[in-house]
Amino acid sequence: MGCFPCFDSKEEEKLNTVNESNDPKQAQPTVSSNISSLSSGGDRLRSRSNGGSKRELPCPRDGPGVQIAAHIFSFRELAAATKNFRPESFLGEGGFGHVYKGQLESTGQVVAVKQLDRNGLQGNREFLVEVLMLSLLHHPNLVNLIGYCADGDQRLLVYEFMPLGSLEDHLHDLPPGKEPLDWNTRMKIAAGAAKGLEYLHDKANPPVIYRDFKSSNILLEEGFHPKLSDFGLAKLGPVGDKSHVSTRVMGTYGYCAPEYAMTGQLTVKSDVYSFGVVFLELITGRKAIDSTRPHGEQNLITWARPLFTNRRKLSKLADPLLQGRFPMRGLYQALAVASMCIQEEAAARPHIGDVVTALSYLANQAYDPNASGHGHSGSGETDEKRYRDDRGGRVSKNDEGGVSGCRWDLEGSEKDDSPKETARMLNRDLDRERAVAEAKMWGENWREKRRQSAQGSSDGSNG
């Protein structure tokens, strides 16, 4: 299996979205342009606004089709829940509409209610797509859709309430006194968001391309558990022998993959690029696009790329609000993953599953800023010394073979694990496939080590 698998190649795999049946009346959901039919129930959510072309809806690859079970609310119910959408209930603006905090009178549940712009035709399409997607796809890192309202010309979506707001709220323009995210929390958020994308790309059938991955669309519940939201721009990915889907360019400037922005050709690797931008936001604390910064620093990717190739400047990529409280090796490894995700060529970007493996490893390496040998201050040779003192492994050759012939040895010396070697890995001229394999092996070897440790403890206690 290659390092960059994009799509499932099993041509015989059928795209089923409902339970198999010989009853011809149980047809696949299709689209009609009559949006108002939504108000009569979930069984009528069978249309797409592109005029009735039949294309099957996504469902998990490893299970039967999920029936649409979103609750149908009346406009009066949601007006009561939000106190008539009063300003005090206003949370912010989502895609194509305003979001309000509310409490359902019937259950007492606190919810977020998004009211779509009634004057926007695009809002109708987004409404339909989002109801379909979130009714059929369920994962701990996707926001839960509770229900919807389609009374008359009103279009409202009801989600679970996420008390900590969006990732953007905790990264940019922090108010005085608000604590910035620490390193461990940033890695946890990145790993969780990547798992959400992995579900869309690898578990949904056909695959779903999110198309609007950005920090404001990552919502946080208690404990900073991330969930992807706002699925109005999501598209079904290519199936069979198709390499991409062609579509009108949508999304947010600064997050769009270059090949998608230029050609309209969309693949799951377009999402991987957007993930890399958000991951860089987490590492650097900078916005994807920031017009308040000096010329040359306004675009995050343009500013960061030249720094990847200079070992002495890698530490400058860390968010100043971290105040040096981050592991140097963790920073370099995180930058390696981000660098691979934002490669200009889509084929050079890693598969999201490999990204999840690498970030799960990083997220489980708890950083203690009070421990000796951790953290960062200064630059140059001081960086290198601190990095070498931060013990825990080295990249070495795997004599037994395997993907790219490299492994991550958690108990080895640090002879080869220096900032110079890491900078070489980040260099554009490095073998990108090897870099992806190394990132993947970080996680795989770490999990194997934990399994062996747990087995040894069990054997000891039984003895």
Residue 160 has φ and ψ, to the nearest 5°, of -65, 145
Neighbours of 204 (CB within 10 A): 22
| Residue reference for tokens 């695009």 | 122
**Distance separating alpha carbons of residues 207 and 234, to the nearest angstrom:** 10
Strand partners, 407: 396
Amino acid identity of 45? L
**Distance separating alpha carbons of residues 324 and 100, to the nearest angstrom:** 38
What's the residue count for the chain?
463
**Distance separating alpha carbons of residues 426 and 54, to the nearest angstrom:** 44
The helix (run of H) or strand (run of E) holding residue 335 is helix 328-341
Report which DSSP code applies to 323.
Answer: T
Sign of CA dihedral 443, 445, 451, 457: negative
Would you state the structure tokens that stand for residue 433, as one six-digit string? 């496939």
The helix (run of H) or strand (run of E) holding residue 294 is none
Amino acid identity of 11? E
Coil/strand/helix, residue 129: helix
Strand partners, 110: 103
User: Active-site residue 459, yes or no?
Assistant: no
Residue 177 has φ and ψ, to the nearest 5°, of 90, -10
Q: What share of the chain is helix, strand, coil (3-state, %, to 5)?
A: 40, 15, 45
Enumerate the known binding-site residues.
114
Enumerate the known binding-site residues for ATP.
114
The residue annotated as part of the active site, out of 117, 151, 153, 212, is 212
**Distance separating alpha carbons of residues 48 and 128, to the nearest angstrom:** 7
- Catalytic site positions: 212
